[in-house]
Structure formats: C-alpha cells, structure tokens
Amino acid sequence: MSDTLLEVKNVKKYFKLKSGIFSRRRGWVKAVDDVSFSVKKGETFGLVGESGCGKSTVSRVILRLTQANSGQIIFDGEDILKLSNKEMREKRRLMQMVFQKPFESLNPRVTIGDIIGSPFEIHKAASRKEKKRKVQELLAYVGLEPRYINRYPHEFSGGQRQRIGIARAIALRPKLIICDEPISALDVSIQAQILNLLKDMQKDFGLSYIFISHNLSVVKYMSNRIAVMYMGKIVEIASKEELYKNNKHPYTKALLSAIPIPDIDIKKERILLKGDLPSPINPPEGCRFRTRCEYAMRICAQSYPALMDVGNNHFVACHLYHEAIKSG
C-alpha cells in the first residue's frame, strides 16, 4: 500500500489581471507555476518563502477554495480536481485548515459549541446529543474547559481561539491539515504550546500536515521535509536535516542565513539579497531568482532550470547544478 497521502502534480494557478472600463485582460499573475510535491501519511511537509511567493495559494488550490488552472491533485488515491462540488464537500471532511488569524475565522455571533460542532452538522455526522458530547471531548482535548461550550469567541484569548480553530479542524478526524502560519498572530509565550498541541495531535491521530510559514526556525521544528518557494515556483525540496545542513539553492542559502543563532560566540555571515522582489506580473525570464542572484549566468536568463535530483532525495532548481553535472 502506498505511503503517499497527497500528490500535487504540475499545478498552475494564474490570476487574470484586468483593467479599464471593459475589464480587458492586461496579463497574468502566475501565483503558482508548475508546482509538484507529495506528502506522506503521518508526515509534516513544510512550505517556506517570502510573503507573496505563492505558498498560501498552493494551500487554497489543494482545498479547492480556488480553482487550479491545470495539473493534478491526487488525494487519498483520487484526483480531487475532477470531483464535482458535492463530491468535494465530502472529501473536505478529510482535509482541513488551521488559519493564521483565529479570530477572523470564527464567527463572533456563534457560540464555540456551535463553531466546533458545525462540521458534524454540515456532514450529518452526529445527533444533537452526540454533537454536544463530542464538542466537549474536543474542548478537553485541545486544553479548554468543556463548560465553556456556550461562550463566544470574544471571551477567549488569541491562543485559546487558535485552540478552538484546531478543535474544529480535527472534529471529523481528517487525514490532512493545512496549517497556514498558525502561530504568527499569537504571543510568543503561547506559540510553543500550540506547536506542541499540533505535534501531539499528529501522534494521536496519524495526521499529515502541510505547514506553511515564513519563520524558518518554526518550520525546522515542525517539518520532516521542506520545500522552498520563490515567485510561484519550488526551488528546493529536501529533508529537514539535508536542507539545513546541505542547502544548495542560492535563495535557500540567503533565507537560512537570516536565522538568528542563540549563541553570541558563533558569528554567522548573513547573505543580503540585492534588489527588490520582482513584480509577479512580469517575472524575469528564465530563472526567476536571477535578478537577485550573485551566481547568475547567461543560461539563467534563457531557460528555467527544472528541479533535479542531487541525491539523498534532495531536489534543486538551479543551473549551477545542471552545469556541474554536464561538465562531469
């Protein structure tokens, strides 16, 4: 039996750019451009990159909250891009999301009992009495008092609201949870508690996670494998150990050089990227990183380097490695 839960194959998501009174198409924003990766059962797959690199769009495309232009998304053995809306609603029982801003994702006029219990109603998965019992069990599991069931979201702190969002996400025992910057809106003092709750859930329920963050220390703590994105493309994928010790892509090197080391005796040289992030409307031809890359060669402007296997399940999209292999 395959140990792969999710396969994203050559997925593209372009947004039309319109202008003028007739809303003429002016171009495309290539938010996700030919992205492929897979997630194993019980694995945490990290997605990192600067804001606007396309990592959140990838998650929305996987959940079909926005429609991909092309590609395949095989989840639990089925291409979900081919499912009808009704079939997709059923599939969503198994795919959930934990959001960055818990307050915005919780309806302020609804009690937390109804918020956490809503998946049972939508999917007709429990009677009213069972729903109450299950919600109380979920509250206890995520570290909240079951007697709070009739309270409203504004009566809770940021960390507690995130626990409510997490309780809702695991209500129907999903197989995959996409965590989109789940702690970046929380106080530092409670971030570790939420990360540890996510880790405990993974052990208890055998969950797979896609963990999206711009915080590389957090991604390192959470993930088994990590993909680095730049302007809608994956530029490097490797295991956590390989990526942090033996990173190859010049963009990954620059990103990782910015992580602070908690030891004043260790001096680390930070790689400062030159230039601004190019416009996604008109990205550079060839390698999209070439306008900021100190190793850029002529070929980098001529063709986009495909992701290639450099050994040890480590993939990198950079002509430096293509050229090195060609020259033996």
Residues 6+ apart with CB under 8 A from 88: 64, 80
**Smallest gap, in angstroms, from Cβ of residue 14 to ligand SF4?**
22
Q: Which is nearer to ligand SF4, 100 or 252 (CB)?
A: 252
Residue 318 found at the interface with ligand SF4 (CB under 6 A): yes
**Smallest gap, in angstroms, from Cβ of residue 250 to ligand SF4?**
5
Q: Which is nearer to ligand SF4, 181 or 236 (CB)?
A: 236
Residue 4 φ/ψ, nearest 5 degrees: -90, 130
Q: Which is nearer to ligand SF4, 142 or 228 (CB)?
A: 228
Count of residues that bind ligand SF4 according to CB under 6 A: 14
Q: Which is nearer to ligand SF4, 94 or 320 (CB)?
A: 320
**Smallest gap, in angstroms, from Cβ of residue 320 to ligand SF4?**
5
Query: Rounded to an integer, what is the distance from CA 122 to the centroid of its chain?
Result: 25
Helix axes 158-170, 128-141, angle to 10 degrees: 130
**Smallest gap, in angstroms, from Cβ of residue 305 to ligand SF4?**
5
**Contact with ligand SF4 (CB under 6 A): which of 74, 185, 190, 320?**
320
Contact letters (x/-) for ligand SF4, 186-225, by CB under 6 A? ----------------------------------------
Q: Which of 30, 13, 8, 9 has its CA nearest to residue 67?
A: 13
Q: Half-sphere exposure of residue 197, counting CA atoms within 13 Å on the CB side?
A: 26
Task: Kindly identify the residues of this chain, within the stretch 25-64, that bind ligand SF4 according to CB under 6 A.
Answer: none
- Write the secondary structure of 9-40 as one string of H (helix), E (strand) and C (coil): EEEEEEEEEEECCCCEEEEEEEEEEEEEEEEE
Q: Which is nearer to ligand SF4, 210 or 318 (CB)?
A: 318
CB-count burial class (<10 Å; 0-12, 13-18, 19+) for 328: exposed
Helix axes 158-170, 112-122, angle to 10 degrees: 20
Residue 250 φ/ψ, nearest 5 degrees: -55, -30
Q: In what order do the strands lie in the sheet with 44-48?
A: 95-98, 176-180, 208-213, 44-48, 225-230, 233-239, 315-316, 308-309
Q: Which is nearer to ligand SF4, 211 or 230 (CB)?
A: 230
**Smallest gap, in angstroms, from Cβ of residue 247 to ligand SF4?**
12
Q: Which is nearer to ligand SF4, 146 or 278 (CB)?
A: 278
Q: Which is nearer to ligand SF4, 214 or 322 (CB)?
A: 322
**Smallest gap, in angstroms, from Cβ of residue 100 to ligand SF4?**
29
- How far is residue 187's CA from residue 176's CA, in Å, rounded to a whole number? 26
Give the position of tokens 């940021």.
158
Contact letters (x/-) for ligand SF4, 266-305, by CB under 6 A? ---------------------x-xx--x-xxx--x----x
Residue 250 found at the interface with ligand SF4 (CB under 6 A): yes
Distances (CA, A) of 110 to 118, 124, 127, 137, 314: 10, 19, 19, 19, 46
- In the complex, the residues that contact ligand SF4 under the rule CB under 6 A are 249-250, 287, 289-290, 293, 295-297, 300, 305, 318-320
